[in-house]
Amino acid sequence: MQNNVERIHELVDRLNRYRNEYYNENNPSVDDSVYDHLYDELERLEKETGIILSNSPTQTVGYKAVSNLDKVIHPIPLLSLGKTKSVKDLISFLKKKTALLMLKLDGLTIKLVYEDGKLIEGSTRGDGEEGEIITHNVPAFRNVPLTIPYKNRLVITGEGFIHKSDFERLKDTLVGSDG
């Protein structure tokens, strides 16, 4: 049991370091597959031992926002679905319900709020409880309307992503001749 507790502490520390590199430094030191493998090990050990540390990455989504953007508290937390690599787990989860399954996109969860047909707020998921206001960036997103015919309040969440070719072009533009 003691070795499992030490391993849990080690995994939490490593995974939190990797999350910080990915979310805040934009400089991950490990591939997603390595992170996922360690995360799955942590999840398994937490279930076996019943020990879950308060700062465990299994208890949160995303990472605390550290930029200078204004913050927003989400009245309804923007949670993340658990990962599975098993068809058996999906079937068990769905039971006899009808569902649409799609491939996962690794992007940025965005919340859009419309009132009286106008976009009034765009924000990131952040850590699920607190995100960042990005309303000023939304006009640059393709296929996100700034006005809609629905006149009541509407809150939508979805995944924002950028195609790899567009990312490479943008990266080259931002680096410029100084890089």
Of residues 105, 170, 115, 93, the one with CA closest to residue 137: 170
DSSP H/E element including 67:
none
Tokens for 35, please give them.
């992170």
Q: 78 with 4: CB under 8 angstroms?
A: no
DSSP H/E element including 159:
strand 154-160
Catalytic one of 85, 96, 97, 104? 104
Upper half-sphere CA count for residue 138 (Cβ side, 13 Å): 24
DSSP 52: -
CA distance 41 to 9: 12
Catalytic, 104? Answer yes
Active site residues: 104
